[in-house]
Structure 1
Amino acid sequence: MRDDKQWPRLRVGDWADTRDTLHMWLQIVGKIRMAHAPAVNHWWHVTLYPSARGLTTSLVPYRDGGFEIEFDFLDHQLHLRTTDGRSRSVALEPKSVAVFYRQTMAALAELGVATTIHAVPNEVERAIPFAEDEVHDAYDREAAQLFWRQLLRAEEVLGRFRSGFVGKASPVHFFWGAMDLAYTRFSGRIAPPHPGGAPNCPPSVMREGYSHELASFGFWPGGGEEGAFYSYAYVEPAGYAERPVRPQAAYYDRDLRELLLPYEAVAGAKDPDAVLTEFLHSSYEAAADLGGWDRRALDGASTDAAAG
């Protein structure tokens, strides 16, 4: 039997084409959720969630019922299901974004879920309309499944870390814009308007996402040979870039303005969970201490105490 406690190894260079295709497919499904889900602050209503088989929209309300869309990385199918028992599937296999888009929208129409989306990707430099994207067409089944298993391991540690905070905090969820699993803590203070700057993403989107002072943590398939864990603060306090964080492999990337910990430094460690937890705690402390957060009011039980 497979040991799901292992941290899967997947070099970014070995699956870059699949990653970029899957990114576009995830954007299509995420935008479908966004078209129907009630708005929640910081765009929390548009995210996807790791599931027992892949990534899911969770239940999305529609008329007098609802629907769910799930990427199944075990059977390699996109499942579309409604609360009245009907379903459709789209095969996850090598195919262009244009074909996947047509098939997915056709499946929705067959289920009677009338949907219109802004059919152009966000947060990527080259934003090819989905219906015209014949460039991205790769799908490596093993790589997609390994990425999902990376997300499961990251979600478990982030979930335990989340339990040690009593202030306002996000779920652990997957943002399809940047293709990252993320968790965010808030100081409780309003932040100055975000200047924007994400490619093919209106400044208003960034202003809503960063309306309040925060520290964010997550994982994405970039920033290292096997991806990277990250942490950043908005507004970044003075001295944040120079503040030492743990473990030793972590560093501040001045181009991204983020603290990074290469995935391989976690997966290759004797105790990967402990190494990642150390990074999360020390990077939070950097943001909160330098930013003057009221930690007596915000910090709850420690991760170890919560787990016990």
Structure 2
Amino acid sequence: MSERLNAWPTLDYEDLAPTVDYVNRVVQVAGKYTLDEPFEVGWGNIVLDVTPRGLSTPTLRQRGVTFTVHYNLLDGGVVIEADSGSRTVPLSQGSVATFYASFCDAVDELGIHRPRSSLICEIPDSPPRFEDDNVERTWDGHAARLIWTAFNLAADGLEAWQAPFLGHHPRVGVMWGGFDLSATRYRAQPTVPPPHQPPFMQNAQLDAYVSVGFSLGDAESPNVGMYAYIWPQPDGLGGRSWGVEGAAWHPDAGLVRLPWATLRATADPHQAIVAFGDAVYDAAVETAGWPSDLVGPRVEGWYMSRTPPALVQHQHG
């Protein structure tokens, strides 16, 4: 029991908030490069991968140079790796403005163009641009490890939940604007986004989807844990069971929430994430007409390597 709880550590928003606030800003620097990529439904092109030591962009290709940017949270540095060489920019000292200037110098040396925008997005009361954020930051390596651990554990569960879905689903990853981990399932049903939202949010809501994710919280809503919602939001979500005792529908926020403390206290937190996601998809089937046959069998790869497809369908159909 104690070994499992240690693997799923206690997370307190107040303790993590300064580091989350800093990392959320600096991941947006390299995140801007993902906007140069072709748009995928629901912004699937922008997510950052959870790696063994931090967060990374996908492989990015500009004319004449191919590169990735890896936010090495466990070592406190950002590694820019290109076919033209590599550079490391420290996270452990200075301000966001200092980091941004050092980052731009590093990419110049590698023949990579600077990010096309320096706007800081989706962070209320933030200075408008990276070069304007001169608040001195103190790097907290322990908090950074907790952030990575949480993303890593949640990603493991969400990838298991996503695996059998037969429809369009971008890879599980961190949306660098809101700094939340996202696993989303789509179906080809055009929807009408609310007109008052900014363009990037309207473009996220062009088709129906089910989203399950993990958030470290923010100042307005310091809720660390899993969340989920269905777009467009159907009626009939109140009073449902959400697969894990303690998960609940919050109508004011339009979210189903599973607090981290509740999740880590379950007998199997990894399986609880899968059960939570399955319950959300079941709600989409029952309240919003989503097809139940878009979910295939959930089996491990070695089973599939030695089992005839017809038998798999017979056993799990």
- TM-score when scaled to structure 2? 0.87
1:178-189 matches, cutoff 5 A: 178-189=178-189
Q: Structure 1's 196 and 9: CA in aligned 2 closer, same or farther, altered over 3 A?
A: farther
Cα distance between partner residues in 1 of 2:62 and 2:8: 37
Residue 65 of structure 1 corresponds to 65
Matched, 1:7 2:8: yes
Cα distance between partner residues in 2 of 1:18 and 1:270: 30
Contact 1:183–1:217, Cα closer than 8 Å, also in 2: yes
Cα distance between partner residues in 2 of 1:243 and 1:30: 37
1:124-273 matches, cutoff 5 A: 124-128=123-127, 129-135=129-135, 137-197=137-197, 203-222=198-217, 227-273=224-270
Q: Secondary structure at the match of 1:46?
A: coil
Q: Structure 1's 226 and 207: CA in aligned 2 closer, same or farther, altered over 3 A?
A: closer
1:22-171 matches, cutoff 5 A: 22-34=23-35, 36-84=36-84, 86-128=85-127, 129-135=129-135, 137-171=137-171
Cα distance between partner residues in 2 of 1:195 and 1:243: 30
Q: How many residues align?
A: 298
Contact 2:57–2:70, Cα closer than 8 Å, also in 1: yes
Contact 2:121–2:177, Cα closer than 8 Å, also in 1: yes
Q: Which amino acid aligns with 1:7?
A: W
Contact 2:29–2:115, Cα closer than 8 Å, also in 1: no
Contact 2:32–2:115, Cα closer than 8 Å, also in 1: no
Cα distance between partner residues in 2 of 1:204 and 1:131: 24
Q: Structure 1's 163 and 42: CA in aligned 2 closer, same or farther, altered over 3 A?
A: same
Contact 1:97–1:131, Cα closer than 8 Å, also in 2: yes
Cα distance between partner residues in 2 of 1:80 and 1:172: 22
Contact 2:192–2:206, Cα closer than 8 Å, also in 1: yes
Structure 1: unaligned runs, 5 residues or longer: 198-202
Contact 2:226–2:260, Cα closer than 8 Å, also in 1: yes
Q: CA deviation at 1:9?
A: 2.5
Q: CA deviation at 1:225?
A: 6.7
Runs of 4+ with deviation above 4 angstroms? 2-5, 223-226, 304-308
Cα distance between partner residues in 2 of 1:136 and 1:233: 39
Q: CA deviation at 1:264?
A: 1.2
Q: Structure 1's 256 and 307: CA in aligned 2 closer, same or farther, altered over 3 A?
A: farther
Contact 2:5–2:265, Cα closer than 8 Å, also in 1: no
Q: Which amino acid aligns with 2:229?
A: Y
Q: Which amino acid aligns with 1:97?
A: V
Q: Structure 1's 14 and 29: CA in aligned 2 closer, same or farther, altered over 3 A?
A: same
Q: CA deviation at 1:191?
A: 1.2
Contact 2:93–2:137, Cα closer than 8 Å, also in 1: yes
Cα distance between partner residues in 2 of 1:290 and 1:136: 49
Q: Secondary structure at the match of 1:45?
A: coil
Deviates more, 1:37-46 or 1:146-155: 37-46
Contact 2:55–2:70, Cα closer than 8 Å, also in 1: yes
Q: CA deviation at 1:299?
A: 1.7
Residue 286 of structure 1 corresponds to 283
Deviates more, 1:110-119 or 1:220-229: 220-229
Cα distance between partner residues in 1 of 2:300 and 2:125: 46
Q: CA deviation at 1:80?
A: 0.5
Q: CA deviation at 1:58?
A: 2.2
Instruction: Indicate which of 291, 296, 299 corresponds to 1:300.
Output: 296
**Alpha carbon RMSD of aligned pairs, Å?**
2.3
Q: Secondary structure at the match of 1:279?
A: helix
Q: Secondary structure at the match of 2:166?
A: coil
Cα distance between partner residues in 1 of 2:223 and 2:186: 29
Q: Secondary structure at the match of 1:58?
A: coil
Percent of aligned pairs with the same residue? 27
